[in-house]
Amino acid sequence: MPPIYLASNSPRRRELLRLAGLPFTVCPSQVDEAAYAVADPVTLVETLALAKAREVAIRAGRGVSIGADTVVVHQGEILGKPASPAQAQEYLARLAGEAHLVITGVAVVVGGGLEQVAHEITRVVFRPLTPEEIAAYVATGEPLDKAGGYGIQGLGSLLVARIEGCYFNIVGLPLARLATMLARVGLNPLLISHL
């Protein structure tokens, strides 16, 4: 089996890839995300995911690289990772009682040059939140390194009324989509995870 590289330093993506049962090495991408000013969220996440996977594939020289990028979109505006607690509070106040989209781009690049890129969209509805609830959640520090300012796998789960679509996409790596992409290059997690 070729080596598999995760082009991300996200602990959430590491944990999700472990769930797939594949051995992998974390090799964080050195792509400057700020250099990509793309207005369309789907194009943005697919472009960044592919850039990250390509950059790691070039450094590794062989194997399979997996890149991903996630954004939250509310009323047509992209909400990335909040730059400060104040911005996290602003994001959460906007999302409270509202629906938004979580969009993750995922890319698989094989050292020989084969590239695949796709995206997953999940609709999330927050329950109404009081200013005190928002302040308390932000004070935990959990929102500061997550797109949209919340983590559904932690205390942020208390903010969510319902989801429509892939839960793992909200966490940062749509596993079913990734499994399909890996199967196309002979790395079906269900067939080889027992090795």
Residue type, 1: M
In whole angstroms, what is the distance from residue 172 CA to residue 115 CA? 20
The residue from 32, 40, 69, 145 that is catalytic is 69
DSSP count for the chain of H helices, then E strands: 7, 7
Would the CA dihedral through 133, 138, 141, 146 be positive or negative? Answer: positive
Structure-derived torsion over alpha carbons of residues 6, 7, 8, 12, reported in degrees to the nearest 10: -30
Q: In 4-60, where do the E strands start and end? A: 4-6, 25-26
Q: Look at strands 77-79 and 25-26 and give their pairing.
A: unpaired
Phi and psi, residue 126, nearest 5°: -85, 150
Nearest alpha-carbon partner for 171 in 68, 64, 78, 67: 68
Nearest alpha-carbon partner for 70 in 109, 126, 138, 119: 119
Residue 69 annotated among the catalytic residues of the structure: yes
Residues annotated catalytic, as ranges: 69
